[in-house]
A = this chain, B = another copy of it.
Amino acid sequence: MIPENHPRYHSLIVREQLVRCAKEGIVTLEGLTAHGRGEAFDYLMGEQTSPSALQAEKIAAALLLTADHPVISVNGNTAALAARMIAGLQMASRASVEVNLFHRTDERITKITRLLEEQGVRVLKGEAKRLLPLLHERALCLPGGIGSADVILVPLEDGDRCQALHSLGKKVITIDLNPLSRTAQSADLTIVDEVTRALPLITTFCRELDQEEAKTLSTGYDNKIIRKAALDEIIRRLTHALD
């Protein structure tokens, strides 16, 4: 048991949850190392939402609200960490939810779909087609989901996948704690925040924004400035770390 007063309580609880889901086959072993990378960057961000991340979350809400066909793409790590939060965001944003896996097997798709549905997510189903410019199973997605999305939220996404989606002209929003990753660099909007902090904040903004505010926000941002602000926050913290 992790004591509740441990300074890194939340981070350790999240890690335990992920290890449990790895034992159940929902999270892959590669997903565990990816989570560790995220933990390190979150540690550098002080394990809290920075002002620039909060602004990115507001813009993400605006992009989802003004989209014709918004889709949330959910992988194993996201489902393991945030299934209930995905349900909340789906309700507030009216986005479709598609399960989309880097290490895709029918068994994992089924398990993750079940986990999401148990937490109240309505999960898109159908026959996946090779619609993305990627090799093998990584090209697969649903024609009525990611295939026809104009705005797509991909938390914790691989760089190749993010680039492929972007190359199809879709507006890609990612949640990625490394502001220098290929995912962060190829997305149209990069939220440098931990996924279980980011999703509820996007949901709150979806409920608060009116159409006019959403329209203004969705067109008037510069993702380079947002990424730069996240990097500056890390540098600022490191510079004072040994004071």
Q: For residue A194, give the distance in angstroms from its CB to the closest CB of chain B.
A: 13
Which residues of A does B touch, CB under 8 Å? 15, 18-19, 22-23, 29-30, 32-41, 43, 178, 180, 224, 227-228, 231, 234-235, 238-239, 241-242
Q: Which of B39, B180, B227 contacts A37 (CB 8 A)?
A: B39
- Copies of this chain, complex-wide, total 2
In the complex, are the beta carbons of A33 and B29 less than 8 A apart?
no
Given contacts A235-B238, A239-B235, A29 and B19 within 8 Å (CB-CB): yes
In the complex, are the beta carbons of A40 and B178 less than 8 A apart?
yes
Q: How far is the CA of A34 from the CA of B33 in the complex (A)?
A: 7
**Closest 4 pairs (CB-CB, A-B):** A36-B36, A40-B40, A33-B36, A32-B32
Which residue from chain B places its CB closest to the CB of A18 in the assembled complex?
B33
In the complex, are the beta carbons of B32 and A33 less than 8 A apart?
yes
Q: How far is the CA of A15 from the CA of B28 in the complex (A)?
A: 13
**Beyond A19-B29, A35-B36, A224-B242, 15 extra complex contacts between A and B, CB < 8 Å:** A15-B30, A18-B33, A19-B33, A23-B29, A29-B29, A32-B32, A32-B33, A33-B39, A34-B36, A36-B36, A36-B40, A39-B40, A180-B242, A231-B241, A235-B238
In the complex, are the beta carbons of B33 and A15 less than 8 A apart?
yes
Q: How far is the CA of A30 from the CA of B27 in the complex (A)?
A: 13
Q: How far is the CA of A227 from the CA of B241 in the complex (A)?
A: 11
Q: For residue A234, give the distance in angstroms from its CB to the closest CB of chain B.
A: 6
A224 proximity list for chain B (CB < 8 A): 242
In the complex, are the beta carbons of A238 and B242 less than 8 A apart?
no
In the complex, are the beta carbons of A227 and B242 less than 8 A apart?
yes
Q: Could you say which of A19, A29, A235 has the most chain B C-beta atoms within 10 Å of its C-beta?
A: A29
Q: How far is the CA of A94 from the CA of B170 in the complex (A)?
A: 60
A-B contact pairs, 24 of them (CB 8 A): A15-B30, A15-B33, A19-B29, A19-B30, A22-B29, A23-B29, A29-B32, A32-B32, A32-B33, A32-B36, A33-B36, A33-B39, A36-B36, A36-B37, A36-B38, A36-B39, A37-B37, A37-B40, A38-B40, A40-B41, A40-B178, A227-B242, A231-B241, A238-B238
A178 proximity list for chain B (CB < 8 A): 40, 43
